[in-house]
Every structure is written in C-alpha cells, then in structure tokens.
C-alpha cells in the first residue's frame, strides 16, 4: 500500500481494519483470516516499494494529470512483466496508458463502492491491451471472489455512463422541488429495487467524484445531456461532498 504520506496510509489501514471487523462481526470471516489479511499488507511512502510486483492497482483521485504522473513513475520502477491497472471510474484508460511504454499491460479494474460488499469488477480494455493482460486480471478478480465483466474503453465505461445521468436527474428533481430527498430515494428503492437511493448513493460515492465523472462524460461525448445539475456544482463549492465531509444531501 503506497501513498504520499503516512497520515493517508494510516487512514487507509484504519478503514481496512474497520471493514474487516465488520465482516468478522457478521461471521463472514474468521479472526485468523482477519489477522492474516492485515499481516499481508505492507505500506510505504516510497513508490519503489512496488518494484517487484506482478500487478499494481492505482486508486488515486479522479484527475488525469495525477494518474498519468503515477503511471509514468510505475512504468519506470516496476518490472517489465508487471500489469498496471487503474480503478478509475470514468477516465480514459487509453489516455492513462500513453504515459507508459507498456500500453499492452495497462487495463481498467474498476471496483464498485462499497468494495467489501459489491461483487462487480468492471474490466476495461483498450485496443492495445493484450489478451494475456485481460485474462490475468479476470483470473485475479475471480480469485478474490469478485465477478469481472468486460467492456471497451469509453467515457464512463458502462457503470457510470448509465448511473451518473440517473443521479444527476435525481439532483435536478430535488432542486426543482418535485419531491423531498427522502421521497426520491424511497421511490427508487421501492419502485426499482435499488438497495440505496440515488441521493444517498451520491453521498457515499462523493459529490465531487460525481461531478468529476459527469464532466468527463460531457467532455468525452460533447453532449449537453451530461451537464451537471447546478445544485451539485453548488454543493461541491460549499464543501458538502457527502459522507466524507459529514454532510451532503444528508447529514452524517
């Protein structure tokens, strides 16, 4: 586990510990499995800790420049056979791959939120991604008890190309006072069998992430139907980003 400072790493390890304890309390894992998992995680603020890795999964913030910089560094420090995967939720894998000298070994490995619960891994291949890379990532996802599903590299891929316009419409409905936030979420939960309403889901994802994805869709397709709702933009400017700031559409 690599990150830019010890505080962020400690926060990450704390979240992992909390998630494992939740699984332990539910009886889905044993204490021995939990301790073994934690023992298997090493951490560092030096990126070359990953020099002998076979697969590296990047999960930095949704910013192409940041991701490209990381992939450029990883390309230089990792062994030639190493696969570089991105957990990006919308940014072009092809664009990220351009910062490396191994486009055949660059792939999207998009985990769904919350990762400990959600089974899907969206596997995004480019025209350059090799069959060996795809198969390795498919096998790896299955090995960690996830369900990998492939798609081609396109703005928002499949999951967010469909999900984000729905969330955006829910925010428009709230802004236009068609219904309360509770009613909007309840209608989608009861009427569409969604486990969580779109506004509560936006809070979980992070409103800034939702805004970033919508902007990627708008730019990628050059289509006004992806214009972010003004209320979403306003809340992001106010720092009301959802669960991570203790306030979004709901207070936490």
Which of these is catalytic: 62, 78, 122, 159?
Answer: 122
Instruction: Please answer whether residues 110 and 121 qualify as being in contact, where contact means their C-beta atoms are separated by less than 8 angstroms.
Output: yes
89 carries an active-site annotation? yes
Which of these is catalytic: 78, 86, 89, 90?
Answer: 89
Helix (H, G, I), strand (E, B) or coil at 225: helix
DSSP string across 2-58: B-SSHHHHHHHHHHHHHHHHHHHHHTSS-HHHHHHHHHT---BS-GGGGTT-SEEEE
Q: Which residues, in sequence order, are bridge partners of residue 251?
A: 247
160 carries an active-site annotation? yes
Residue appearing with tokens 């106010």: 238
Dihedral, 21, 26, 31, 34 alpha carbons, nearest 10: -50
Which of these is catalytic: 160, 168, 173, 212?
Answer: 160
Which of these is catalytic: 78, 90, 94, 110?
Answer: 110
Sequence length of the chain is 252
Q: Catalytic positions, please?
A: 89, 110, 122, 160
């Amino acid at each position: 586990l690599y990150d830019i400072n010890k505080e962020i790493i400690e926060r990450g390890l704390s979240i992992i510990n909390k998630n494992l304890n939740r699984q332990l309390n539910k009886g889905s894992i044993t204490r021995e499995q939990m301790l073994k998992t934690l023992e298997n995680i090493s951490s560092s603020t030096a990126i070359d800790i990953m020099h002998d890795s076979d697969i590296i999964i990047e999960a930095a913030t949704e910013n192409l420049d940041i991701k490209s910089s990381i992939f450029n560094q990883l390309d230089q420090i990792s062994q030639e056979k190493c696969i570089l995967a991105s957990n990006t939720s919308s940014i072009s894998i092809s664009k990220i791959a351009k910062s490396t000298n191994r486009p055949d070994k660059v792939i999207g490995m998009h985990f769904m939120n919350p990762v400990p619960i959600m089974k899907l891994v969206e596997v995004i291949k480019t025209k350059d991604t090799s069959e060996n890379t795809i198969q390795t990532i498919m096998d790896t996802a299955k090995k960690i008890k996830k369900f990998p599903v492939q798609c081609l590299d396109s703005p928002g891929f499949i999951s967010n190309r469909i999900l984000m316009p729905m969330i955006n419409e829910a925010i428009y409905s709230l802004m236009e006072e068609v219904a309360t936030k509770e009613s909007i979420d309840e209608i989608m939960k009861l009427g569409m069998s969604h486990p969580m309403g779109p506004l509560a889901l936006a809070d979980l994802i992070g409103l800034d992430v939702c805004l970033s994805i919508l902007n990627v869709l708008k730019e990628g397709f050059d289509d006004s139907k992806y214009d972010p709702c003004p209320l979403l933009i306003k809340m992001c400017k106010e720092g009301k980003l959802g669960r991570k700031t203790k306030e979004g559409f709901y207070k936490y």
